[in-house]
Amino acid sequence: MKKIVFTFFILFATNIIAQRPVLQFSNNLAEESEKISSSHTICNTLNGDLLFILESNQKYHGYLFDSDFKQINSLSAQKHVKKYDQYLGCIINGGDYSMVHYNQSKKKFGITSFNFKLKTTESNSIDFKLDNEKLIESFNYNNKLYLISVKPNTKSFNLHIYDGNKFEKQIIEINGSNDKNPYKGTSHDLMVDQKFSTGNTLKKVNNLIPRSYTANLSKSKLYLNDNSLTITFDKEDQITRTLSFNLDSFKIKRRNFYHIKNVTSKIKRSNSYIFNNKLFQIASSSEYLKLTITDLETNQKIKEYFGSKNADIYFKNGSINQQKTDLLGGDRKLDNPKQFLRKLSKGKQGLSVYYSNEHYKVSIGSVKPVAFSGGGNGFSTGYNNSGQVSTHYMHTAGSITPEQKSVWIDCVFDNEFNHTKGNVQDYFSPLILNFEKNNSIKEASIFEHTDNKRYRGVYITSLNTYKVYLLP
């Protein structure tokens, strides 16, 4: 097999900028005093039109294109007052393309609409209140906005559906009437960490792009695939619970996937990930690691891989990796499985899966925070060396960056999920591998078009230009 040469010093941003964009346009609506802080892409699922919104400190600038990337029109709208400063999602209702925002407490909502036929914009508050509920996630389907919320001390969650005119509510029960092993806790326990007022666990997963396992540490995840929504729960170490339903009919399917029974008493950490309608489960302790792959269509287990502290983990490709994010940094290779399993079982565990070049790449690892002093965590928008707007993780309140230790392995499998030997770089391009590592790439800039291809939008600050690239 011809090997793909991998260069460790190539950055994803450099690679994608070197490509020829499928679309580019100047942000000629903005004034010189404006600074673009973020961008949003609204895809019309009915006709394939695309609205690119560039958000500055003063206004929203909207550029509407048809499915062939030909510009239709452009409009600017004044931003909401500061009380609606968090982007929630979008709605398309007739000729109106709308963005929905909320305040920091997630209790008040506002909407900004563009009508390109009438050449008008409008901003209003939304008459909607959560009834002692915590808003934990949102997503778009069929040009509507869906909000997921939970109430304390219940075994259900609420799905609020907004079409731009009114809200409808669906109540989804965690347990079915005939469940043989129902969940005994509350929906809050499954979906929210820590206190009801501050915690947030449910994580929306974007499978359009390669993701690092560090982005998948949450114990509950949401997957949207066409008109099907699936939520996974891994709060119990012995079991992965899945709840799937059709967004058109709301027909619900609940399933439980157990880990291997003769070692469940020793499980210390577990998690799961869904990719290509396959459920990937991991369970570990200081003595062993187990990977299970199950077909969600047939409920049949496809493969199981088992590694222990006393033998080599035969299904890994390459070394066992460790990274420490302290002031000096520090990468090293671990010598044996015993070290890896001990460190893996002490951290917050996750896995990621991606498919390319007729092979699956599965990464398994954990992250453990190291004690640090003072401050809190937050997100900040800034500009990287290539002049692109990006979002970076930072530590605020004047303290140092929190230290973390992470350990992981990479595994490569063929289409039948047989382990394939060799280096990871033999099967996956540098572009994909660097995408996983580049934390400054915003998932919101990635979209899938009507041609079933994936694209990424990039705003180039130095050129005041927006470019759209086809992803590999």
The pLDDT tens digits for 88-123 are: 999 999 899 999 999 888 889 999 999 999 999 999
Instruction: Write down the mean pLDDT value for the chain.
Output: 83
Examine the pLDDT at 173 and tell me if it is beyond 80.
yes
Nearest residue to 378 via CA among 351, 402, 357, 343:
402
Average confidence (pLDDT) over 140-161: 95
pTM for this prediction: 0.85
What's the CA dihedral at 206, 210, 213, 214 to 10 degrees? -70
Please report, for residues 2, 20, 85, 429, the alpha-carbon distance to residue 471 in angstroms, rounded to integers and kept in the order given.
22, 11, 30, 12
| Residue 438 near residue 13, CB atoms below 8 Å | yes
Phi-psi region at 197: left, alpha or beta (left = phi > 0; alpha = psi -120 to 50): alpha
Q: What does the alpha-carbon distance between residue 341 and residue 337 come to, in Å, rounded to a whole number? A: 6
Examine the pLDDT at 381 and tell me if it is beyond 60.
no
Q: Worst-scoring range by mean pLDDT, 12-21, 80-89, 456-465?
A: 12-21
Question: Domain-by-domain residue ranges, the chain?
Answer: 1-11+205-444
Helix (H) or strand (E) holding 279: strand 278-284
Q: What does the alpha-carbon distance between residue 405 and residue 365 come to, in Å, rounded to a whole number? A: 11
Name, in order, each residue with C-beta under 8 angstroms of 415's C-beta and a sequence gap of 6 or more. Answer: 358, 359
Q: Worst-scoring range by mean pLDDT, 131-140, 293-302, 395-404?
A: 395-404
pLDDT band at 331 (very low <50, low <70, confident <90, very high): confident
